[in-house]
Amino acid sequence: MLRSAHFIIPAKENVHPRVLRKLATSDYLCEIMDYSDKTTVTVRVLFAHRNGFRRRRLVTSLLDPIDFPASELARLYHLRWDIETFYRDFKCSLRATCWHCQTPESFDRELLMHMIVCCLIRIAMLEACQPAKLSVAQLSFARALTETRLFLKLLLVPTDADLWASIWAVHVCCCAQHRVGYKPDRRFTRDKQEYRRKSRGMQNRRKNNKRKYQEASPLPQPETRKGAKGQVFLLS
């Protein structure tokens, strides 16, 4: 706020601001304590409701409910999910966890090349989804990476400069063919025990598989014999 910058941040569950005025449903004008200088700050607290996401309480400096409706602020906040998908694509698909560099200078160059390739793929996916009026999330980043590798190999072949535009157009059309099952309104389970079972691979355990540690077997019964007169003798 000292830099005159607006913000939308999630609020902790243990924060209880003082309500000044109710703006709309699940939208309030509140005061919170700035513990750095022991002053109060006027902010706006709202609850973000969006299908497929958890209900979150947000704090923002955009106080005007007419210019900045709560639904629009919730949509802006949930766009942060693209950051998580970027980490997945950058680390898993591009395999940006194993580096071949040995000096800080070579690491900068290798990181820069990864970012250039990532931006190139995103630009191709954006152009591919515009004619069909699709979302970028409906296209496969991993398949687009494969198409980009083929595209970069074609650029290394001596070709007339006039054909570069046609090569890029073909590359964009190839990226548009790879769709993924995008479900924006899907609600994911939040069971922590289920997450632990999946992370440990316990959900794939077959029912007939024996456990590693079995219970101790019962002790054998003592051996007995009957005599001629019907007496029972215990054998040692």
- The CA-atom distances, in angstroms, between 171 and each of 120, 134, 138, 177 are 11, 17, 17, 10
Distance, CA of 52 to CA of 50 (rounded, Å): 6
Pair type for strands 56-60 and 232-234: unpaired
Q: Could you give the percent of the chain with pLDDT greater than 70? A: 81
- Report the alpha-carbon angle 143-149-153, nearest 5: 150
The whole-angstrom separation of Cα 174 and Cα 35 is 54
Which among 192, 190, 188 has a CA at the least distance from the CA of 52? 188
d(CA 210, CA 89): 38
Which position has the token pair 């390739």?
A: 117
Is pLDDT at 203 greater than 70 in this prediction?
Answer: no
Question: What's the mean per-residue pLDDT of the chain?
Answer: 80
**Radius of gyration (C-alpha) of the chain in whole angstroms:** 31
Output the pTM of the full model: 0.56
| Mean predicted confidence (pLDDT) in 131-154 | 86
Q: What does the buried/exposed string (b/e) look like for 158-183 if buried means 16 or more CB atoms within 10 Å of the residue's CB? A: eeeeeeeeeebeebbebbbebeeeee
How distant, in Å, are the alpha carbons of 70, 210, 215, 221 from that of 218? Answer: 67, 18, 9, 9
Residues 160-200: tens digit of each pLDDT: 767 788 888 889 998 888 888 655 554 455 566 776 777 77
Cβ contact 46:74 at 8 Å: yes
Please indicate whether residue 59 or residue 215 has the higher confidence score (pLDDT): 59
Render pLDDT for 13-71 as a digit per residue (tens, 0 to 9): 777 888 898 988 888 899 988 777 778 888 899 887 666 566 788 999 999 888 988 88
The two three-digit tokens of residue 208, written as one number: 């007939």
163: left (phi over 0), alpha (psi -120 to 50) or beta: alpha
Quick one: what percent of the chain has pLDDT higher than 90?
A: 13
